[in-house]
């Protein structure tokens, strides 16, 4: 596998693990300091778009079917497979616990000195006033989701990039039958 596939996959794994770690830190009391910055979310989604789309294009250019892609992933070193699997499991568990405990409130904000959030309960949709404690809980839940989902997508980009590199390596190792 070429160094650029390894670099692409490594950066994607690193960014995904960092985002999952930040999402896990939202379980601690208090909001994370930098996650309210709009530029940070824009930077995350811009880098995610570049990493994910380029990894998918690399994978599509190999022309392999699903079975060949799975076999190529299985040919990666076991440490790489275990790392990607463990991080993906961590992300799934994090998202499952987050969605199970978040309730029906989203997008908390302060308006005119009052804490409000969007209530998604059927028949009562709209902005409702909440306490400061609930405001902090909704903020943490929103942060957790906004960090965990891109983290999981970065892991998907790493899977695609590393698998495409393995497919490319395997294709280069095949000797055509007409050359003896």
Domain count, the chain: 1
Domain hosting 72: range is: 3-99+148-173
- Residue 80 counted as domain residue: yes
- Residue 126 counted as domain residue: no
Question: In the prediction, which pLDDT does 36 show?
Answer: 61
Query: Average pLDDT of 41-67?
Result: 87
Query: Average pLDDT of 89-95?
Result: 91
Question: In the prediction, which pLDDT does 83 show?
Answer: 92
Percentage of residues in the chain with pLDDT exceeding 90? 22
- Residue 122 counted as domain residue: no
Question: In the prediction, which pLDDT does 66 show?
Answer: 84
How much is the mean pLDDT over the chain? Answer: 81
Residue closest to 48 by CA, chosen among 20, 23, 15: 15
- Residue 31 counted as domain residue: yes
- Residue 34 counted as domain residue: yes
- The answer, yes or no, to whether residue 125 has pLDDT greater than 80, is no
């Amino acid at each position: 596998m070429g160094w650029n596939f390894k670099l692409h996959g490594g950066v994607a794994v690193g960014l995904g693990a960092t985002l999952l770690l930040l999402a896990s830190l939202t379980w601690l009391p208090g909001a994370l300091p930098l996650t309210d910055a709009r530029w940070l979310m824009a930077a995350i989604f811009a880098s995610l778009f570049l990493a994910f789309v380029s990894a998918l294009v690399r994978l599509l250019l190999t022309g392999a079917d699903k079975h060949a892609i799975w076999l190529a992933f299985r040919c990666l070193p076991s440490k790489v497979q275990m790392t990607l699997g463990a991080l993906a499991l961590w992300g799934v568990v994090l998202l499952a616990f987050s969605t199970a405990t978040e309730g029906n409130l989203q997008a908390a904000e302060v308006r005119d000195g009052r804490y409000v959030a969007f209530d998604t309960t059927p028949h009562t949709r709209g902005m409702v006033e909440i306490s400061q404690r609930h405001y902090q809980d909704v903020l943490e839940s929103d942060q957790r989701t906004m960090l965990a989902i891109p983290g999981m997508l970065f892991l998907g980009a790493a899977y695609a990039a590393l698998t495409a590199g393995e497919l490319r390596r395997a294709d280069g190792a095949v000797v055509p039958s007409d050359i003896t």
